[in-house]
Amino acid sequence: MSEIKDLVQEKSIDDLNKIKAMGLSEQDFEQIREHGVSLENIKKELAIFKKGIAKMELVEAATVGNGILRLTEEEFVENASFFDDHKSNLKLLKFVPASGAASRMFKFLTAFLNDFNIEKESINAYINRKKETKLPVFIVGMEKLPFFEMIYKKLKEEIQDFDSLSRDYKNYYFIKFMLDAKYFDFASKPKGILPFHKYATKIATPIEEHLYECGYYSSTNNKSYLHFTVSESHQEQFEQIIDSEKAKVENETQTSIEVTYSYQDKSTDTIAVNMNDKAFRTQEGKLLFRPGGHGALIGNLNQLDADIIFIKNIDNVILHNNEKIALYKKALAGVLLELQQQIFACLNLIDLYTVEENQIEEIKKFLSAKLNVEVKSDFDLYTFENKIKFLKNILDRPIRVCGMVINEGEPGGGPFWVKNGQKEVSLQIVESSQVDLSNKKQAKIMANATHFNPVDLVCATKNYKGEKFDLHQFVDENSGFIVEKNYQGKDIKGYELPGLWNGAMANWLTVFVEVPLITFNPVKTVNDLLKEAHQSL
């Protein structure tokens, strides 16, 4: 018993020594322990702030025929059919990151309420003064919004003689009621529960649209699995919608849907620092921890047991044409399944020791032609055993097939050929913040991107023996982000983990496929709900 006590005490002393070496206190140690963050992560993050993160080295943009596969409409149909023909023994799951609030969606309207005085200024004067372009679009189109009637009804109930007010007052009160915590409070709610689409007999949320999509493309043997990553405080609101809508969707799609949830693990939170790279402290003298970004969700994905996982953002849904969306999603899955069959055949040959020299050359060609992997130039000098070992290491990885749409100037990442620290070139999804845009050559490559990442992924996370990969083993730990933020009026720096479809999947086998723009209908601002994809026909 005394030996165990000594070991615990020794471990505690070791931890405290580590804390002191980082310039932290025993009180900090207690806070870190209670938060569940590891000391090694704190140490690593503080070192990253001081050293910085090397920018990614772009070689060139991935284009059609050079990293991006373009299919004809007939080939989309063929691949979708291949998927349907081979999915019966597979467990299919849809993974939807949905933890964020809708604050950014209403950011320009929140700014308007904070800076506008209805008693002293007209809305038109505000628009001219601020050179605001989004507000007039909102005002002109707001009667087409799916929630217009419910807010308008509330306004007439709450404000006496509302109909007799001037147009400015009506518009002002509409925006105020939409965002006010006493009324609709849309900016504080998760996007998933907001009214997105108006049908003839109902108004649908993104949650309901994702339920329908399960029936259209993510089901086998009339069974589907849907997983949302949510904030713990939001889960009950998700469940209320699921409880009210799921039975109806299941009946219409003839699909039983099992819905599960997970939260971003607090142990993945990262420490914030001041602008001098010292641990930032709140007014109470406490350390400040921030969520580690969507890259933390690699842990959530790692916990799921499925053969094929579709990944799509909560706000990328469409009001109609579910059959068309399903065609392209199933086609991506068909591409993945066919590649997986070929990869597994190669790995089984290797395991059975039946692979021959001429087959090694065929595997090399397959890697280059189908998986965008260039074998090292000195590969032919390897011994036969080392060739086998090298090929197995390359092939035995998780696989992702990523839809890419034509670049129309949307903010976000895109597909590029990237060179890592070992001078190896691979296909990656890269965000502009990961690139040194002060370097003219790198900036030009970034600007020449022909395609954009809509977050349209189909993933296989089991190996050729049917075992789950440990996805943490395939993360590029050097591809996180340092971000500058403001906390209670003070500038701080935060660290975000390698993004879920960026560095967190950097060492997966990756294939990019061009998909039509109809598959990409995100609602980043409330004005996006006025676009054709979200309006009734």
Q: Tell me the torsion sign for CA atoms 207, 209, 210, 212.
A: positive
pLDDT at 46 over 70: yes
Q: How many helices (H) and strands (E) does the chain have?
A: 16, 19
pLDDT at 6 over 50: no
Quote the tokens at residue 98: 């949905």
Classified as helix, coil or strand, 117 is: coil
Spatial neighbors of 309 by CB under 8 A, at least 6 apart, are: 92, 93, 94, 95, 301, 458, 459, 460, 461
- Cα separation, 49 vs 496, in Å, equals 11
Say what the pLDDT of residue 422 is: 84
Per mean pLDDT, which of 136-150, 282-296, 356-370 is the most reliable?
136-150
Quote the tokens at residue 20: 């002191």
Say what the pLDDT of residue 12 is: 65
Say what the pLDDT of residue 61 is: 95
Q: Give the whole-number percent of the chain exceeding pLDDT 90.
A: 78
CB atoms within 10 A of CB 141: 16
For residue 394, the one-letter residue type is I
Q: Report which of residues 20 and 11 the model is more confident about.
A: 20
- Cα separation, 457 vs 93, in Å, equals 12
User: Residue 510 is inside which H or E element, if any?
Assistant: strand 509-514
Q: Report which of residues 7 and 276 the model is more confident about.
A: 276
Say what the pLDDT of residue 5 is: 39
Residue labelled with tokens 């063929």: 78
Q: Treating both helix axes as pointing N-terminal to C-terminal, what angle do 322-351 and 73-86 enclose, rounded to 10 degrees?
A: 60
Residue 100 banded pLDDT, cuts 50, 70, 90: confident
- Cα separation, 533 vs 225, in Å, equals 26
- Give the pLDDT confidence of 471-511 residue by residue, as tens digits: 999 999 989 989 898 888 899 999 999 999 999 999 999 99
Write out the DSSP string of 146-207. TTHHHHHHHHHHHSTTGGGS-HHHHHHHHHHHHH-TTTT-GGGSBGGGS--EE-SS-EE-HH
Q: CB of 211 within 8 A of CB of 197?
A: no
Helices (H), 52-122: 73-86, 107-115
Classified as helix, coil or strand, 355 is: coil
Mean pLDDT of the chain: 92
pLDDT at 3 over 80: no
- The DSSP symbol for 402 reads E
